[in-house]
Amino acid sequence: MPAGLTRRPRVATLILLATLLLAPALLAMDVRSQSVVSTVQLGPSYYGGPYSIAYDSSRGVLFVSEPYNGTVSVIADSTDSVIATLTVAQLPPVGNVVYGAIAYDSGNGEVFVTDPYTDVISVFSGTTYASVANVTVSATPGGLAYDSGKGEIFATDVASDSVSVLSDSTNSVVASIAVSGDPTGIAYDSASGQLFVANNANDSVSVISDSNDSVVATVHVGGSPIGVAYDAARGQVFVTDSDSAAVSVLSVATDKVVANVSVGTYPTGVAYDPSTDEVFVSDSSANTVSVMSGTNDTVVGSLGVGGDPEGMAYDASTGDMYVANFYGESVSVVSATASPVSTTTTTSSTTASSGSLVPSYLSIVTIDAATIVLLLAVAMKRRASGPDR
């Protein structure tokens, strides 16, 4: 050995080899893969297709509003096929409005659908599909949420900056709550008895107590909030800030924003999957659905769906997420499995096709078994030829 040089240990080489050998196995165990397993094609429309989805766990069906067809399609989750069609009022364009919101009332088995053009909420039986009532509300009903604790439906009235409260026993308006500019999405927190309303025009979320039907807090979020989803496990609320290309995470305990996550280009819909502790966020401009980890509030990947994805609903029976593709005139069925992630990434452009979700941190580099064997052979050859220097 030449003077001045010292023998270096082979620890670095061994650590590298161990990492290369173990990484694929570790990733296969820890990473959950999502993929579009089915696409339910719905009827053609002169402007757009499905917008909002509600799930009925008792019968294993999903109700999908198609505002520009004036219909609601009923999909069986056992076959992913349309088994019935309900006729509602035709909904022509009404400016920047949440079209055809829908909610399922598990207490009395009824379906509520908004008609912002006539200021009416249509009520249907979830079993016979017969019309039950038409309830007139304040002005331009948008989002809907069912309050199981009180047996009430909360409807955001976009044009009147208010929230109407409907009794599901009488199908009549029992209260009206003033909120901020252009209330759109809404979600119910069964643990606290509160409702969270996204105010699109003034970048805030109103917190409503269902005990006295009043606003108890106002939380400022990102630009133009639209969708709202509740995570019962952590007591958090997820709000899509469409103009900020982000999702605000609110703590129910403090009514404060605890995280702000950059997501896609124009996030709109949002839904929480309690089985995987993940948050699904639709990006209507990129034709994708991003997936966030509920554990650390980070985006773990995205997958292509149909054109202009909007509303989503989680099916607790099958563990699938249903995505309404407005311009795609279809519903994408996303399934989560524990299989290893494919190394093929899905494009996030406007022409993104359906495929498997690939976490962003896995798309940096891909190492297969042949590469590992080659690197191992090179290292062993170097070791046989002489010590590391």
Arithmetic mean of pLDDT, 355-362: 37
Buried b (16+ CB within 10 A) or exposed e, 143-173: bbbbbeebebbbbbbbbbbbbbbbebeebeb
Cα–Cα separations (whole angstroms), residue 389 to 2, 4, 382: 10, 12, 11
Region 137-142: mean pLDDT is: 88
Which pLDDT value is given to residue 43?
79
Give the tens place of pLDDT for each residue, 103-132. Answer: 999 999 999 999 887 889 999 999 999 999
For residue 331, how far is the Cα from the chain centroid?
13
Range with lowest mean pLDDT among 105-109, 197-201, 327-331, 347-351: 347-351
Q: What is the mean pLDDT of residues 367-381?
A: 47
CB atoms closer than 10 angstroms to residue 355 = 17
Q: Which of 145, 148, 115, 110 minimizes the C-alpha distance to 130?
A: 110
The model carries a pTM of 0.79
pLDDT of residue 93: 53
CB atoms within 10 A of CB 108: 13
Residue type, 384: A
Of 163, 203, 211, 171, the C-alpha closest to 187 is 163
How much is the pLDDT for 369? 45
**Under a CB-based contact definition with an 8 Å cutoff, are residues 268 and 286 in contact?**
no
Calculate mean pLDDT across residues 335-341: 51
Could you tell me the domains of the chain?
1-31+364-389 (no CATH), 33-362 (2.130.10.10)
Residue % of the chain over a pLDDT of 70: 75
Which tokens hold the place of 66? 């198609």
DSSP-assigned beta bridge partners for residue 145: 154
At 154-195, the pLDDT tens digits run 999 999 999 999 999 999 999 999 998 999 999 999 999 999
Whether pLDDT at 355 is above 70: no
User: Of 45, 54, 132, 125, which Cα lies nearest the Cα of 90?
Assistant: 45
Q: Residue 361 has what DSSP assignment? A: G
Cα–Cα dist 331/165, whole Å: 30
Give the model confidence (pLDDT) of 208-243 as tens digits.
Answer: 999 999 999 999 999 999 999 999 999 999 999 999
Q: Are 115 and 91 in contact (CB under 8 A)?
A: yes
The sign of the CA dihedral 369, 373, 374, 375 is positive
- DSSP conformation class of 372: H
CA-derived radius of gyration, the chain: 25
